[in-house]
Structures are given as structure tokens and as C-alpha cells.
Chain A
């Protein structure tokens, strides 16, 4: 089985989200990486993808139409390549989730979303109901289209491979959509989904200033990424790309510190696979304590600065 992997890239570099997908793909068969993008950036990303251990070949589709990863343009490209491949795997990022189902429908196959393990050539596990159940599913389709939950697979080594880069003919612009702008959120801290430590704040932080004042110093001290509950995001304490949960990002760091987060089902869905969970909350009955390895019932406005000072 030959497996096509969608490479997520930015500014000429391969994004880390691609690496676990290569690991999942390698469990199915020889891995062919697809870099779709524009100009020198795409070329550099293809060269970087060629060094990922386990990648046998890199396909480079360079065209202005692929510059912003518009699904309307990339999906037909993938479909045209699927004549020679048996499976298409993409990271379960917003890019992968946007493109893969469009590919699946064009191929007339059911996509398997956010797999957490490969059980056989056509058998996979995936979480359903906000992670409250794990389903094992078997596909009856001739071709597989899959998105991969990054935190469930080891990252392939970004170095050590020496794949060849082959250019493929681009299909051009479908003329249905166009990119207008990107408002990137400023983030000097580690990327949330790949950070080893995550410090998250919830509604109890009161406002954006307090959030910044209490959560950020603790995160900086630990070299951690900053996360948030939906309540904190909705209240405007921090931008929405920091949201951890069923509808935000799925994280599984070594250490997850939940501050002033009650622990709703939807939040737990995004972090309960963390290795070590610490909860600081003044409500001793908060559901977060049912899954926390270490719980501290305390007023966060006293406990967090003290903790920041002592570690």
C-alpha cells in the first residue's frame, strides 16, 4: 500500500504537525510526502520533507494556486495523485480537516477522522463523544482518507531521510475561492500542540489583564505554552487559538497545569491524555479534580504567584 501524506508547511519549513502523520503512514506502507505550495517556499519545504526519516519520495506541486492551502485547489490535486496511491493521510489540524473530507468525497470514500492508532491495514481507533468513547472502525472503501491526531503518534525524525523530490503537474486555480488575509496571533512561546508543558487558565482569571498577570509568568518560568478554556476565550481573556478542548486544540504534554478551570467534558476532551495533570481550583468539588494527578484546593490569586516563585 502506497501512502500519500499531506505536508503542512510554512515559510519554507515543515510544520511539526506533519511528523506524527509520517509515523502513522509508515505503519500502512511506503510514505510519499506531498508538498503543495508556491515558489521558493514550497521548494524549501520539499527539501526539508525529503530529510524526514521514513519518507521514500517527495512530490512537489508548485503553483501560485496552492500558496494559501485553499481546499478548492488542493483537493483536486490530491485526487489526481490518488490514482497511484492507496491512502491519503493528513494531520488533524485546521488545514488537514479542511482539505481531507473534500478529497474523500471526490473519491467517494468515507474519511476516518482523527485516528489515534493503526490496528490493521484498514482498521483504526478514533475517539468519539468528546473522547468519552473510543471506537475501532474498519473501512470498506477501496482507498483510505484519514486525518491523524498528532498527540497519539510519535514524531518521525525530521532528519536522517534522503528522499528524492519529484515535481508533479499542478492543476491550477479552481476559481472558486481566494485568500484575502491572515491575522496571525503573536506567540513567542512554544506551540500549544507540541509543547512539553502547558499552563491553562479558565474563567476564574477574571479578565485579560489578570490572565496575563497570573498565567503568563508561570508559563514562562516553566517554558510552557499557554492554553485556555472556552470560557476564558469567550470572555476575551486570550485569543481563540489558545483554546484547549473538543473544539479547540488537543494537547498531551508531559505536564498540564489547569488553573481556575472547572473541567467540563468539552475541555477534558482536549487534555486528558496529558502525562501529568495538576489542577489548582478553589472549588474542591470541581470535576477537574477527578482526573488531576495532583490537586491543590486554593485561591489561584495566592497559589499561582507563590508557585511561580518557588519553581
Chain B
């Protein structure tokens, strides 16, 4: 079977985002960009499933500006077989991303789509669930373990009170949580080889999907700044301070 892995180019997770002074958004010009960390985990899982013989082909897909091709090359260097870039400079919300992915799923008929559980820029945590809804397929969200057996997939999910295991009929949609695996680094030879792998470029219009945002961002502001704190020199001082503030009896 085929596995499709959608990946997103986002501001690098180590970069502290700066809000633009005009309140229109976060400044991403001249900021280091990388593959969304959860998507790296999704790519790794797809490649591991291929290495185990559970999948024949891994297709990486990204929706975004021309530069998102770099993110796809990273996925190819990790081991994906080919890539599709749906190029647009517009902001694409999870619902629109899910609609484009739905069309790709119709074309490619994958057995599994593995996404990251959330992107670290919009923190939405929606696209996988939405894709599952639109394709009418089951969803295994926040996955920490994925086992394919016959025509079903067993997914262990990280839930608030522990971990839950569900069985889903294939084809299915899975979203990766942090503890699913440890993504590999692309080696230099593989980075070189990735440059020769196929990368097809298309546009949202090719799929007939309207990507007009449903949400209007009125403003983006910095979170409230915390008052500067104090440093104490000893545990006794700390205890005294906590008592003075009424934090402990």
C-alpha cells in the first residue's frame, strides 16, 4: 500500500516568535524555517512501515510557498519516494488543507495517511481529524504506536488519563504524537539522492478547492508580560516569601 505524509514548513521550534508591531501577525521574514517537528515523526513512521514491508511507497505532500519544496526535499532525504507540492502564497487553513488532501487521497488511494498531531505555528490540531471526516475514514489521533495487521491498523493513543488502544479499518488516518518514534537525520548522500527524486508542483486550483479563509485574524498581540520576579538566596527565604504571599500555610 501507499502511505501519504503531509508535511508543513513552519518557523523552527527553537526560534522565539516575534509579533509584528502593527499587530498583523508574527514576523516570519528572515526567520529560520524547518519541517514541523510532528511531521518529521510522521515521515519517520511511514518510512519505518515501508522498511518493515507494510508499505511500498511513501509520498510526501506539502501545501505552501515555493520554499516548502525544501521541506519536501527533507522528507525525500529521510526516505520518502516522491513528493507533491501544492504551491500557494496564501494562508491555507486546516479545513482547506484537508480538502486538498482529500482530493490527493482520491487520486492516490493510500492505505494510510500519517500527519503530525499539530503544527507548532497555528497550534490548531485539526487537519488529520478533518481529513478523516471528509474521506469518511477512521482516525487514530495522537498516536504513540502503530501496528498494521491485515486490513486493520491498531493505534495506541496518548489520552489525558493514560493511553488508549483502538483498532481502525484500513484505509485510515493517523496523527503522530511526540513519542511515536525518534526521527532519523538525513545523511549527506541521501540529501544528494533526494535532489533527483520526483517532486511534482501543482496549485490549489488544480483540485478545484476554494482556499478562502473562514477565519479573519483581526489582530495578533504579544501575551501579557509577567512582572519581573525576585531571586532568593536560600530555602528559608523562599519559604518566608511563600508564606508572606499566602501561597503556603
- List A residues at the B interface (Cβ < 8 Å): 68, 70-72, 75, 93-95, 97-106, 108-114, 123, 127-141, 174-185, 187, 193, 222, 230, 233-234, 239-241, 246-247, 249, 254-255, 265-266, 272, 276-278, 284, 289, 291-298, 303, 306-307, 310-311
- Chain B residue with Cβ nearest A280: B238
Given contacts A240-B158, A249-B160, contact A295 B230 (CB under 8 A): yes
Given contacts A240-B179, A272-B226, contact A102 B139 (CB under 8 A): yes
Count how many pairs of residues, one from A and one from B, have CB atoms less than 8 Å apart in the complex: 252
- In the bound complex, do residue B160 and residue A241 qualify as a contact, i.e. CB atoms below 8 Å apart? yes
- In the bound complex, do residue A179 and residue B166 qualify as a contact, i.e. CB atoms below 8 Å apart? yes
Q: Would you call B120 an interface residue if the criterion is a C-beta within 8 Å of the partner chain's C-beta atoms? A: yes
Which residues in A have their C-beta under 8 angstroms from that of B118?
247
| Consensus secondary structure, chain A interface | mixed
Closest CB in chain B relative to A109 CB, distance in Å: 7
- In the bound complex, do residue A128 and residue B123 qualify as a contact, i.e. CB atoms below 8 Å apart? yes
Q: Would you call B178 an interface residue if the criterion is a C-beta within 8 Å of the partner chain's C-beta atoms? A: yes
Chosen A-B contacts, 9 in total, with CB atoms closer than 8 Å, are A98-B139, A105-B95, A105-B131, A110-B213, A182-B164, A233-B179, A241-B161, A265-B16, A276-B245
- List B residues at the A interface (Cβ < 8 Å): 11, 13-14, 16-17, 19, 26, 38, 93-95, 98, 117-118, 120-134, 136-139, 141-142, 144, 154, 157-169, 177-179, 213-223, 226-227, 229-239, 241-242, 245, 247-248
Closest CB in chain B relative to A276 CB, distance in Å: 5
- In the bound complex, do residue B133 and residue A134 qualify as a contact, i.e. CB atoms below 8 Å apart? no
- In the bound complex, do residue A246 and residue B125 qualify as a contact, i.e. CB atoms below 8 Å apart? no
- In the bound complex, do residue A180 and residue B166 qualify as a contact, i.e. CB atoms below 8 Å apart? yes
Which residues in B have their C-beta under 8 angstroms from that of A311?
239, 242, 248
- In the bound complex, do residue A133 and residue B221 qualify as a contact, i.e. CB atoms below 8 Å apart? yes
A198 vs B166: C-alpha distance when bound (angstroms) = 31
Which residues in A have their C-beta under 8 angstroms from that of B219?
135-136
Which residues in A have their C-beta under 8 angstroms from that of B220?
128, 133-136
Q: Quick one: which of B38, B123, B128, B157 contacts A127, CB cutoff 8 A?
A: B123
- In the bound complex, do residue B26 and residue A70 qualify as a contact, i.e. CB atoms below 8 Å apart? no
